[in-house]
Structure formats: structure tokens, C-alpha cells
Amino acid sequence: MKQQTQPKKPGRNEPCWCGSGRKYKDCHLPLEEAHRSEQLRLRQAQDTLLPRIVEAAQSLPEELPPALARFWEGKYSVDQLAELDTLEDRGSERFLIWFSFDYANSEGQTLAERLPPAADSGSFVLEPAERTLLDRWQGVRLRPYVIDELRKGKGFSARDLLDSKVHRVADSHASKRLEIGEVIVGHLVPVETAFASAEPTYYLAGAAAHLTPDTAEKLVEYAEYIWPIYGAANPMPHGTT
């Protein structure tokens, strides 16, 4: 039987919305409750996984200096990493998130891509929900997005300026500061999904640059210029500072 789109939540003893003829409590209710529990674990895992990735980034002293020089164009040294949040608006956080998701080592892998093989060894042991998220975050890169829709107090919809894909973002604080047409440049990480849906809800990983609408065209031109040099998977390698 083809599954229908859920119209609304029925009562426990009412027929299930899927049309199976069974009571809701004996059909989709247990599945939906299990799904909600799993999605809650994923949302909680997001809060623990990202700091752990950033902590892992700081344990690579041989890679930090060239990455920091590239990101800040030689303006700061590794010795100043602890005070970067004071010197620049969330400067240390912005750099470490970029280092984790965008900076590739000599073998062409980012830190987020390198963690899974060794994720359950040494001190970096992941919970199941954290491992699920880390697997989903392999392709996350710094990208420019234009705000298409605002859901005040809940989140917003952001359209990727490079491939036009629309992402549903859950960020109640950002939705109060943004306006339609404005541009953000940051890392959107997929977390939970709605029941019977393949489309995830995204969250902002760390700080994002907040730009005016007139920068959209310039960002696209910049990305198209460096695309052949760095490849489509990582169109904005230097970050946006």
C-alpha cells in the first residue's frame, strides 16, 4: 500500500492516517514516537559533537599555523589563537570551524573527513547519535546562502547561491536578525528529519558572516572564478572574513 502524506495527528483509537484500516496506536504511532526520540538524540548530539570536532582541531599543532595564515592572510599567529575572539568577532571560533570542515591536509582530506576512521579509538569515542551526525557532515563546506523565507522565532529557509538548493534552517535567534534577501556565509549541518521525509533540517555550525543583499552577485562571481581552481566541492576555500 502506498503511504500517504500525514494530514494531521489522529486520536489514539482513530483509524491511522495512512489508510491501513488499523487504529493509529497500533499502526504509525509507535513508529512516530520512536522517530521523535531518535531526532531528539540527534539534536542533543549536535550540541556535543561540534565542540568535540573543534577540540580535535586544536590537537593538530603542525597543521594549525599554515591554516591560520591562510584564513587570516598572515595577520595572526597560532600564539594569538586564544585571544582571537577578542581581536576579531568570534575570530577563533570562525577559524576553527573553517579548519574542521574546509581545510584539507596534504592528502586532500578535511578534519571532519579524517575523524571517522579513528573516531572510536583513543580519547575520541563517539556516541551512536554523534557518529550518525558525523557521517552526515562529511560534505559540509563554507557556502553562501540568500534568505528566501523567515519563520520568526523558529528559523528560516536559505537558498544556496551556487547550486540554488533550498535548506530549511532551525535557528530561532538568527530568524529575528535576518531579512529576506540578505546573505549569510557559513556552514549548514544537517541534523534531524521529519517523519517519512528525506529532507533534513539544518543548523548553523558556529558563526556565520551576515552580508547585505547587494553582495550576492559578487559572491557568485567570486565563486565562479575560483571554482576551476579549487573544485566544486570546496568553492570558497579561504573563508569569508
pLDDT digits (tens, 9 = 90+) for 199-210: 899 999 988 888
The 10 Å Cβ neighbour count of residue 89 is 12
Q: How large is the average pLDDT for residues 130-157?
A: 91
- Give dist(CA 154, CA 120) in Å, integer: 35
Find out whether 139 and 109 touch, Cβ atoms under 8 Å: no
The secondary structure of 180-236 as a DSSP string is TT-EEEE-EEEEEE-TT--PEEEEE-S--EEE-GGGHHHHHHHHHHHHHHH-TT-S-
- Give dist(CA 101, CA 46) in Å, integer: 15
Which pLDDT score, from 0 to 100, does residue 120 have? 54
- Tens of pLDDT, residues 60-117: 889 999 999 999 999 999 999 989 989 998 899 999 999 999 999 888 899 999 886 5
- Give dist(CA 136, CA 177) in Å, integer: 28
